[in-house]
Amino acid sequence: MNGQFQFNSAHKFNGVIWNTLAIPENEVILLEVRNHEQKRVSFSAFNYKANSFLWQEKTLEEPWWVNLSVASKGVIIFTIYIGTNNPDKKGIIAYTLNNLQIKWWSNDFSLTGLSGDKVYGINTNLGFKSQVLDLQTGKECQNTPFEQESKKVNEVIRPVQYAEGMPYFDQVKRFLIGKLNLLPVVSLEYIEYNSCIFVSCYVEEGGLANYLLILSENGEELLKEKIGEQLQGVGLDTFFILDEYLFFVKNKLELVSFKL
């Protein structure tokens, strides 16, 4: 690293970081961490600018069959799988962001989207009927069409994935071989941001290893991090950029960030 990027934070968790969810308006990253041996899922809320947790490794009443879904305006919505043998039988439960307290819940509700103050989904108790709920109260609202919110400032920027054999994969492959003597395989993720090139690629090292690279426009190496090794397959969204910060998960257990 040439000093252009400032290390911000690194936090290890007791389990696999299964899912992350950004809340740009609150400068928070939510994390879903799964410990498969204990059949336990925990959740954390990390303020990346303050480099501190609002709360950390909290479990809900349902210890395993629950996952992060959406969050906005100080509310987090989790999906609860009510029938473990039937993935279609599920509900949602809303918690406060600041202290993880229950606000409301809705059984037999399958979430399809969130826009503004409205939660969209299908009520499976009413014959798969479309239903709209108020984000803050959980009460039913008038069933209005879902409207995609306009692009926001500080929106999460995610890379594009290219599989081996695609023209753009081959183009980046030639670039990495020529500049870094690095031979990518299977797939890679790529994005250009602030006159830099960000690449997450896989190489053979007695198994798949995942490297995250930041390069200047002329191919100068600015950052190189091995973020996974002995992998059985490739991942999606192995890194993302938010509010001038780079985030990635290292070895499945550690959330790392740099200030760009």
Beta-bridged to residue 129, according to DSSP, are 123
Amino acid of residue 223:
L
pLDDT at 1: 41
Residue 87 structure tokens: 């993935």
- Same-domain status, 175 and 84: no
- Same-domain status, 40 and 108: yes
Say how many C-beta atoms besides its own lie within 10 A of residue 239's C-beta.
Answer: 23
What per-residue string of b and e applies to 223-237 under the rule 16 or more CB within 10 Å gives b? bebebbeebeebbee
- Same-domain status, 171 and 226: yes
Q: Where are the beta strands (DSSP E) in the chain?
A: 6-12, 16-23, 28-35, 40-47, 52-58, 66-72, 75-81, 90-96, 102-106, 109-115, 118-123, 129-134, 160-163, 185-193, 196-204, 208-216, 221-231, 239-242, 245-250, 254-259
Residue 226: domain span:
160-236
Residue 155 structure tokens: 């929106």
**Rounded to the nearest 5 degrees, what angle is found at the Cα of 52, between the Cα atoms of 67 and 48?**
75
- Same-domain status, 118 and 23: yes
What is the full per-residue pLDDT of the chain (260 aa) written as tens digits? Answer: 445 789 999 999 999 999 999 999 999 999 999 999 999 999 999 999 999 999 999 999 999 999 999 999 999 999 999 877 777 789 999 999 999 999 999 999 999 999 989 999 999 887 889 999 999 999 999 877 766 665 555 789 999 999 999 999 999 999 999 989 999 999 999 999 999 999 999 999 989 999 999 999 888 999 999 999 999 999 999 999 999 999 999 999 999 999 99
- Same-domain status, 38 and 122: yes
Largest CA distance in the chain: 60
- Same-domain status, 178 and 97: no
- Same-domain status, 83 and 198: no
- Same-domain status, 86 and 17: yes
Which of 101, 26, 57 has the alpha carbon at shortest distance from 93? Answer: 101
- Same-domain status, 119 and 15: yes
- Same-domain status, 81 and 120: yes
In a domain? residue 199: yes
In a domain? residue 114: yes
Helices (DSSP H) in 91-236: which residue ranges? 167-180
**Block residue for tokens 């962001």:** 97
Residue 187 structure tokens: 């797939």
CB 139 within 8 A of CB 105: no
Question: In whole angstroms, what is the distance from residue 49 CA to residue 26 CA?
Answer: 10
Confidence (pTM): 0.92
Burial class (CB in 10 A: 0-12, 13-18, 19+), 156: middle
- Same-domain status, 25 and 101: yes
What is the SS3 assignment for 205? coil
Distances (CA, A) of 233 to 15, 186, 210, 212, 228: 19, 9, 10, 16, 11
